[in-house]
C-alpha cells in the first residue's frame, strides 16, 4: 500500500521520457529500465530501476512506458450547449466563421452555475483520463462583467492556469470600440484578480491588431501574462503582435510566413499548434518542420472548445501533429509536455527530473511512440498528479 505522504518508488519503467537530455537519449532524455522516487508530491530521484533501495515502497510498472503528464496550454472548458449541428453542417461544406461563438455565449449565459460546474467537472475528468495533468482554461463565453467573472471563478476551482478572454468576439448589441473599452476597463478590473493570463482573438471578424494590442497592453498593466489567438483563419498580424508584446504564446499559427517564423524563433514566444482545430474545421495544417528548423519553441494543445475542436485528447493531438504537421514522434511528445509547460512559463511541470512536481502518466504500451502509432486507442494507464494516482 502506497501512502502519498511517504516516499515511494515507481519502478520497472520500460521507457521513461524525462525531457532532460542530460538524463537519457535524445530530445526526450529517454531512460530504459528506469525508476522514479516521489516524496511529498515531488520527484526526488530518477535513475535505473536496479538502483532503488529494496526497503522503499514501490509501484511496479511491469515494463510500461512513462512520461510527464500532458500540459494542455490552450483550452476553453467552461461553457454550456454544444454545436454538433454546426460541425455536421461544416462537414457538408459550410465554412467556419468566428460568429459561431455567439451561440455558445447565449447557452452559457443562460446556464446555472451548477450546470456549468458539472460540465467543467466532466471535461476535467476526460482530460485526466487522456493523461492531462495541467490544463489552461479560458473565459470568453460570458462577455459581460458578471458572466466573465463567473467563468473565471469556476476555472479557478480546477486550475491555476486561468485566462481572461473577454476579447473573444464582440457580443451583440455593442460596437467594437465600446466593447474594447469595457474589456480594458471595468471587465478587466473585475477579472484580473481571478486570472493569470489575458488572451485576445486577433482575427478578421473578431479584433483587429490595434484593438488586440490595446487589450493586451491593458492586461499587462493589470499584471497578467499575455497569450494571443493568432493567424488561425488567414495570414494576419497576430503572431507579430504576440512576439512584439512579449506574449508567452501565439496560438494556432495556422498561416505563417517566413517573417513570422523568424520572429517566433528569435523570441521567447512559444508557437502553440492546435491540430485538432484544423481537423475539426477541415482546414489545411501548418507544416511544423519550418518552426522546428528555425529553432522556435513549439507546443501542442487541444484547443478544447464546443465550436472548432471538441476534444480533450492530447494523444489524438499528438497523432495528428505527427501525421499531418510533420512532427517527429519525439517532437510531438515534447511539445505536448515540455512545450506546453514553456507556453505557460512553468518549470515545475512537463519534465521528470528531481524537483519537478510528480505529474506522470504510464501507458499500456512499451514506448511513447505508441501515442502516434496507435491513434484513437486509449493507451493511458495510470495518471499521477503531484504523486497521487
Ligand atoms: Zn482557442
Does the residue 330 lie in any domain? Answer: yes
Whether residue 107 is found in the same domain as residue 164? yes
Does the residue 1 lie in any domain? Answer: no
Question: What is the per-residue pLDDT across 142-185, written as a single tens digit (0 to 9) for each?
Answer: 999 999 999 999 999 999 999 999 999 999 999 999 999 999 99
Cα of 112 vs centre of ligand 1, distance in Å, is 23
Whether residue 359 is found in the same domain as residue 269? no
Cα of 304 vs centre of ligand 1, distance in Å, is 7
- Alpha-carbon torsion angle 338, 168, 246, 19, nearest 10: 0
Whether residue 130 is found in the same domain as residue 242? yes
Cα of 157 vs centre of ligand 1, distance in Å, is 20
With bands split at pLDDT 50, 70 and 90, how would you rate the model's confidence at 25?
A: confident
pTM of the model: 0.97
Cα of 75 vs centre of ligand 1, distance in Å, is 6
Cα of 4 vs centre of ligand 1, distance in Å, is 35
Q: Which residue carries 462537414 as its cell?
A: 91
Does the residue 3 lie in any domain? Answer: no
- What's the chain's average pLDDT? 96
**Cell for 332?**
510531438
Does the residue 243 lie in any domain? Answer: yes
With bands split at pLDDT 50, 70 and 90, how would you rate the model's confidence at 24?
A: confident
Contact 182, 191 (CB under 8 A): no
Cα of 303 vs centre of ligand 1, distance in Å, is 5
Q: Which residue carries 509547460 as its cell?
A: 341
Backbone φ and ψ for 89, nearest 5 degrees, come out as -65, -40
Domain that holds residue 178: 71-343
Whether residue 273 is found in the same domain as residue 143? yes
Cα of 31 vs centre of ligand 1, distance in Å, is 35
Cα of 67 vs centre of ligand 1, distance in Å, is 26
Does the residue 22 lie in any domain? Answer: yes
Does the residue 56 lie in any domain? Answer: yes
The closest of 355, 281, 366 to 320, measured between CA atoms, is: 281
pLDDT of residue 1 exceeding 60: no
Structural domains of the chain, count: 2
Whether residue 176 is found in the same domain as residue 87? yes
pLDDT of residue 257 exceeding 80: yes
Cα of 357 vs centre of ligand 1, distance in Å, is 26
Query: Of residues 96 and 93, which shows the higher confidence score?
Result: 93
Whether residue 261 is found in the same domain as residue 141? yes
Cα of 371 vs centre of ligand 1, distance in Å, is 23
Does the residue 389 lie in any domain? Answer: no
Contact 140, 306 (CB under 8 A): no
Cα of 229 vs centre of ligand 1, distance in Å, is 6
Cα of 76 vs centre of ligand 1, distance in Å, is 6
Cα of 56 vs centre of ligand 1, distance in Å, is 44
Cα of 253 vs centre of ligand 1, distance in Å, is 11
For residue 175, give the CATH number of its domain: 3.20.20.140
CA 387, CA 3: separation in Å to the nearest integer?
10
pLDDT of residue 108 exceeding 60: yes
For residue 27, give the CATH number of its domain: 2.30.40.10
Question: What is the per-residue pLDDT across 176-211, written as a single tens digit (0 to 9) for each?
Answer: 999 999 999 999 999 999 999 999 999 988 999 999
Whether residue 252 is found in the same domain as residue 279? yes
The closest of 324, 327, 389, 323 to 358, measured between CA atoms, is: 389
Each residue of 186-196: b (16+ CB within 10 Å) or e?
A: ebbebbbebbb
The closest of 305, 260, 311 to 287, measured between CA atoms, is: 260
The closest of 180, 109, 181 to 139, measured between CA atoms, is: 109
Cα of 187 vs centre of ligand 1, distance in Å, is 20
Does the residue 122 lie in any domain? Answer: yes
Cα of 77 vs centre of ligand 1, distance in Å, is 10
**Cell for 183?**
474589456
Whether residue 64 is found in the same domain as residue 79? no
pLDDT of residue 298 exceeding 90: yes
What mean pLDDT do residues 125-146 have? 98
Whether residue 256 is found in the same domain as residue 281? yes
DSSP letters of 216-258? Answer: HHHHHHTT-EEEEEESSSS--SHHHHHHHTT-SEEEE--S--H
Cα of 282 vs centre of ligand 1, distance in Å, is 16
Whether residue 65 is found in the same domain as residue 179? no
Whether residue 76 is found in the same domain as residue 59? no
Amino acid at each position: 500500500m502506497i501512502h502519498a505522504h511517504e516516499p515511494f518508488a515507481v519502478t520497472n519503467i520500460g521507457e521513461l521520457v524525462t525531457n532532460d537530455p542530460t538524463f537519457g537519449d535524445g530530445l526526450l532524455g529517454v531512460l530504459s529500465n528506469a525508476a522514479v522516487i516521489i516524496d511529498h508530491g515531488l520527484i526526488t530521484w530518477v535513475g535505473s530501476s536496479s538502483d532503488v533501495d529494496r526497503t522503499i515502497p514501490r509501484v511496479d510498472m511491469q515494463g510500461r512506458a512513462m512520461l510527464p503528464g500532458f500540459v494542455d496550454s490552450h483550452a476553453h472548458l467552461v461553457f454550456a450547449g454544444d454545436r454538433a449541428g454546426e460541425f455536421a453542417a461544416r462537414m457538408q461544406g459550410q465554412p467556419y466563421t468566428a460568429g459561431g461563438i455567439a451561440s455558445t455565449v447565449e447557452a452559457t449565459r443562460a446556464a446555472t452555475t451548477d450546470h456549468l460546474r458539472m460540465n467543467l467537472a466532466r471535461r476535467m475528468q476526460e482530460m485526466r483520463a487522456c493523461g492531462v495533468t495541467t490544463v489552461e482554461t479560458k473565459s470568453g463565453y460570458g462577455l459581460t462583467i458578471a458572466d466573465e467573472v463567473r467563468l473565471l471563478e469556476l476555472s479557478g476551482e480546477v486550475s491555476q492556469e486561468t485566462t481572461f478572454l473577454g476579447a473573444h468576439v464582440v457580443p451583440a448589441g455593442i460596437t467594437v470600440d465600446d466593447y474594447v473599452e469595457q474589456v480594458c476597463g471595468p471587465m478587466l478590473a473585475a477579472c484580473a484578480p481571478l486570472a493569470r493570463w489575458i488572451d485576445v482573438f486577433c482575427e478578421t471578424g473578431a479584433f483587429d491588431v490595434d484593438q488586440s494590442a490595446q487589450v493586451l497592453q491593458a492586461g499587462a498593466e493589470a499584471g497578467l501574462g499575455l497569450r494571443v489567438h493568432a493567424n488561425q483563419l488567414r495570414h494576419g498580424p497576430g503572431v507579430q503582435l504576440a512576439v512584439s508584446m512579449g506574449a508567452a504564446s501565439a496560438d494556432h499559427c495556422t498561416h505563417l510566413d517566413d517573417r513570422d517564423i523568424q520572429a517566433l524563433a528569435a523570441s521567447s514566444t512559444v508557437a502553440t499548434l492546435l491540430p485538432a482545430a484544423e481537423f475539426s474545421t477541415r482546414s489545411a495544417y501548418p507544416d511544423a518542420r519550418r518552426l522546428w528548423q528555425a529553432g522556435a519553441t513549439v507546443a501542442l494543445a487541444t484547443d478544447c472548445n464546443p465550436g472548432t475542436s471538441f476534444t480533450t485528447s492530447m494523444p489524438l493531438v499528438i497523432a495528428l501533429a505527427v501525421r499531418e504537421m510533420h512532427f517527429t514522434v519525439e517532437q510531438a511528445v515534447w511539445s505536448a509536455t515540455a512545450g506546453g509547460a514553456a507556453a505557460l512559463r512553468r518549470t515545475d511541470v512537463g519534465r521528470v527530473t528531481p524537483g519537478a512536481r510528480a505529474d506522470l502518466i504510464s501507458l499500456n504500451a512499451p514506448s511513447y511512440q505508441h501515442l502516434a502509432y496507435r491513434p484513437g486507442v486509449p493507451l493511458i494507464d495510470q495518471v499521477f498528479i503531484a504523486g497521487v494516482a
